[in-house]
Chain A
Amino acid sequence: MTAVVERIAVPTLALLASAVLFGLLLAIYARVDPLEAFALMYQGAFGTWFSWQNTLTRAAPLILTALCTALPARMGLIIIGNEGALVMGGVAAAAAGVAVIDAPAPVVQLAMAVAAMIVGGLWIALAGALRQWRGVNETISSLLLTYIAIALMNHFVEGPLRDPSSLNKPSTWPIGDQNMIGTITGTDVHWGLVLGIVACLIVYVWMRFTTWGFALQVIGGNPKTARMMGLDVGRYVLLACGAGGAMAGLAGMVEVAAIHGRANASLAVGYGYSGILVSFLARHHPLAIVPVSILLGGIGASGGLLQRRLDLPDAAVVVLQGILFVAILASETLYGRLWKPKEAA
């Protein structure tokens, strides 16, 4: 019981501390009434039905990209190449969508999703393989792979896959309005949100109730022991990285199929990097990723209002995100120190 209370109390404390710190910054540095700022943030993020939809729309891609860091993190790997996997997934989805454009819409969408997940999965599996068989640090290699992914995207979008009519914003051919995945009935939020939540549930069940998930945790705990137990560590590295990359790739597919209708430079706008933040804030727990994504989506949604009403720079919400990140990481040291376990006494 104490453990559950602690798991909720510690992040809550960290959130409160960040809010106080951010409020002080606003009051002292930006000379803005922090209460007014927080009221505006609430209004912009959760205050109206429109604000809620705004928040959820922004949260959707973060849920999927966060899994790209969270899954390998279960076995102790720090992957930060989410952006690259998203971008590659988006390009693959657009290419697949255009290739089978005349098929029935569900077939096109499935082809897009499968292509995006395979390409995104291979992309991060590559970082895992480099780590496993060549000893290359997976954090650095996955980050560098992102630069390669963006360069590849630019190459495809400005070269072989370019729609010649996209003059001043080079893009691939469109996948067609009939093949777009649309919005959840009665809302303005696209189905990517549901996909993300389902993915988190599946990952949770997989981690919690299967031997594969258990094996990942054993390897994360001590790879040497795992090897002595006869676990094929290399296979699990590829599996965790591949599955994580597939999720980010799927995020790229959702961007193409729900928002842009084609692949272009709009894929690389930082959802992958925000996903890293979400995963760390959620302590890599698949179920915590959903509320954390919604929180960060809300901060993003309210940023505009802070700019427009209080004349704050766009950097204000970035500062808040940074404070949150540091506070959550620092709060890790509080676990086990807030309460003395009574059972022992």
Chain B
Amino acid sequence: MIDRFTIGRRALLGGAAGAAALGLTGGADAQKPLVIGFIYVGPRDDYGYNQAHAEAAAILKKMPGLKVQEEEKVPETVAVEKTMESMINLDGATLVFPTSFGYFDPYMLKVAGKYPKIQFRHCGGLWTEGKHPMNTGSYFGYIDEAQYISGIVAGMTTKSGKLGFVAAKPIPQVLRNINAFTLGAQSVNPKITTQVIFTGDWALPVKEAEATNSMIAQGVDAVACHVDSPKVVIETAERAGIFTCGYHCNQAKLAPKGYLTGAEWNWERVYVGFVESLKANKPLENFVRGGLKEGYVRTSAYGPAVSAAAKEKADAAKTAILNGSLAIYKGALKDNKGNTVIPAGTSYVITEPKLESMNYLVEGVVGSTS
């Protein structure tokens, strides 16, 4: 037993140097907390993308030995490089989370090259081994799994059979959500259609309200969305008395009557994981990604308008996704122009790389990607 405690001088120095290299000199020293920086592209109380991250940051703030620094409304330009550097140089941050998708290339990569001892983890699955530095990494969630569940609930609730989806841009990540939502609804009623409107950018409140109103005028009675802040869409729909499915974080407060459920991020899981690795002196993971099963995404608690039958169907699908027996994207699947996009007999798991470059809307979606 004695041997275990006779640590050589060299080993001790080596350990200390290793800890210093990781920027962990504060690990054992209670005087110097671990400083972590969070950077948001919009306001941190946007009821959306940024709030989802800020809520997780707030949980980290309560952990002992941590100091969390936040900066909001940082554009995807040289400004985010300077914010990262400012956090490193002036606040002593050793781990930085630039949370917006567009922060990665070239901004974060540039700063990461300049500060090799600082750890950077970026939201959005862009990190590739061998191509990007080892002090950087990515984390992301398969939130289309949660959108599929939202689709089931919306499909069970709609009376008109017309769903709506307010979306920012026709990029793969958004198309996955629209398609998963529609496929979920069609799994309970194949005749359901989803009207999609692209507003053109991530935060255009006026256009989002106009899109929602025009859908309501067309007879849509349940809407979902993928914009940075779903607040306007949810509030507009609630005022018109139709149903809503949330996105990014829980918007039930904005629509106490019509909120059905929603696809939420659960970043707490990811962030606490990183911090625990850091504290335990373990190298940080470079690539983490997961869906409902890993707990990176979740669904909002059902609202009062959700029927027992709808809950039953949605819960059954959730169980099937968790045990791997349900594939959201499977053949034969046609796009809304009549082309076969997944041949019969083929079924994609959620991690399938082909899904990352999705460029179509499935049959039953009314709208166009261009």
Given contacts A167-B357, A170-B169, A266-B77, contact A307 B82 (CB under 8 A): no
A266 near B86: Cβ-Cβ < 8 Å: no
Q: Across the interface, do B75 and A170 meet the contact criterion of CB distance under 8 Å? A: no
Contacts of A50 in B (CB 8 A): 85-86, 89-90
The chain B residue with its CB closest to the CB of A151 is: B200
Of residues 298 through 324 on chain A, the ones whose CB sits less than 8 Å from some CB of chain B are: 300-301, 304-305, 307-308, 313-314
Q: Are B76 and A168 in contact (CB under 8 A)?
A: no
Shortest distance in angstroms between A112's beta carbon and chain B's nearest beta carbon?
A: 17
List of B residues within 8 angstroms of A57 by Cβ: 78, 82
> Does chain B have a CB within 8 A of A169?
yes
Residues in B with CB closer than 8 Å to A43 are: 90
**Alpha-carbon gap, A269 to B76, bound state (A):** 8
CA A151 to CA B370, docked complex, whole Å? 14
Interface string of B297-329 (1 = CB under 8 A from A): 000000000000000000000000000000000
Indicate the member of B77, B78, B170, B370 with the most A CB atoms within 10 Å: B78
Instruction: Check: B18 CB closer than 8 A to any chain A CB.
Output: no
A44 at the interface (CB under 8 A from B): yes
Residues of A within 8 A of B55 (CB): none
User: Given A58-B82, A308-B87, A314 and B200 touching (CB < 8 A)?
Assistant: no
Does chain A have a CB within 8 A of B72?
yes
| B-chain residues with CB within 8 Å of residue A307 when the two chains form the complex | 70-72
In the bound assembly, the distance between CA atoms of A304 and B169 in angstroms comes to 29
CB of A338 closer than 8 Å to a CB of B? no
Task: Find the A residue at minimum CB distance from B170.
Answer: A158
- Interfacial chain B residues near A154, Cβ < 8 Å: 200-201
Report the contact-size class of chain A (Cβ under 8 Å from the partner).
20 to 34
Question: How distant is B80 from chain A, measured CB to nearest CB, in Å?
Answer: 10
Contact of A54 with B86 in the complex, beta carbons under 8 Å: yes
Shortest Cβ gap from B119 to chain A (Å)? 18
**Interface Cβ pair total, 8 Å cutoff:** 84
B contact residues around A305 at 8 Å (CB):
86, 90
Give the residues in chain B near A255, CB-CB below 8 Å: 77
Q: Does A148 contact B (CB under 8 A)?
A: no
Alpha-carbon separation in the docked complex, A244 to B76 (Å): 26
Q: Is B102 an interface residue (CB 8 A)?
A: yes
CA distance A23 to B195 in the complex (A): 50
CA distance A335 to B88 in the complex (A): 45
**Minimum C-beta distance from B29 to chain A (A):** 22
Specify which chain A residues have a CB less than 8 angstroms from the CB of B73 in the assembled complex: 314
Contact, CB under 8 Å: B83 / A304: yes
* Minimum Cβ distance to chain B for residue A162 (Å): 11
- Which listed residue, A151, A168, A314, touches B43 by the CB 8 Å rule? A314
Of B71, B77, B370, chain A has the most CB atoms within 10 Å of the CB of B77
Docked complex Cα distance between A159 and B170 (Å): 12
CA distance A43 to B89 in the complex (A): 12
Pick the residue among B74, B106, B124, B356 that contacts A304 (CB under 8 A).
B74
Q: Give CA–CA (A270, B200) in the complex, Å.
A: 18
In this assembly, does A245 line the interface, its C-beta being within 8 Å of a C-beta of chain B?
Answer: no
* Contact between B82 and A308, CB atoms less than 8 A apart: no
Given known pairs A50-B89, A169-B102, A266-B75, the reply for A308 and B171 (CB within 8 Å) is no
Give the residues from 193 to 214 in chain B that come closer than 8 angstroms, CB to CB, to chain A: 200-201
Q: B101 and A168: CB pair below 8 A? A: yes
Asked if A261 CB lies within 8 Å of chain B CBs, one says yes
Q: Are B71 and A58 in contact (CB under 8 A)?
A: no
A54 to chain B, nearest CB (A): 5
Shortest distance in angstroms between B358's beta carbon and chain A's nearest beta carbon?
Answer: 9
Please give the distance in Å from B227's CB to the nearest CB on chain A. Answer: 14
**Binary CB contact string for chain B from 69 to 112 against chain A (1 if under 8 A, 0 otherwise):** 11111111111001101110111000000000110001000000
Kindly provide the distance from the CB of A182 to the nearest chain B CB, expressed in whole angstroms: 12
Taking CB as reference atom, which chain A residue is nearest B86?
Answer: A304
A260 engages B77 (CB within 8 Å): yes
Interface centre among A57, A168, A260, A270 (most CB of B within 10 A): A168
Q: In the complex, are the beta carbons of A58 and B79 less than 8 A apart?
A: yes
**Are A54 and B82 in contact, with the CB atoms below 8 A?**
yes
Are the C-beta atoms of A269 and B72 separated by less than 8 Å? no
Of B86, B89, B124, chain A has the most CB atoms within 10 Å of the CB of: B86
B74 neighbours in A (Cβ, 8 Å): 304
Q: Which residue of B lies closest to A306 (CB)?
A: B71
A265 CB-CB contact with B under 8 Å = yes
> How many whole Å from B171's CB to the nearest CB in chain A?
5
**A257 nearest CB across to chain B (Å):** 12
The reply to whether the CB of B173 lies closer than 8 angstroms to some CB of chain A is: yes
* B172 proximal to A (CB < 8 A): yes
Residues of A near B85 (CB, < 8 A) are 50, 54
**Which residues of A lie under 8 Å from residue B69 when comparing CB positions?**
308
| Complex interface: chain A residues within 8 A of B173 (CB) | 168
Give Cα A58–Cα B75 distance, bound, in whole angstroms. Answer: 12
In the complex, the answer to whether B90 meets A260 with C-beta atoms within 8 Å is no
* Chain A residues in 8 Å Cβ range of B169: 158, 170
- Besides A50-B90, A260-B106, A304-B87, 10 other CB < 8 A contacts? A43-B90, A54-B86, A58-B79, A168-B173, A169-B171, A259-B78, A266-B75, A270-B75, A307-B72, A314-B72
Which residue numbers of B lie inside 8 Å of A, CB to CB?
A: 43, 69-79, 82-83, 85-87, 89-91, 101-102, 106, 124, 169-173, 200-201, 356-357, 370
6 pairs of A and B residues whose beta carbons are closest in the complex: A314-B73, A269-B75, A308-B69, A54-B82, A168-B171, A50-B89
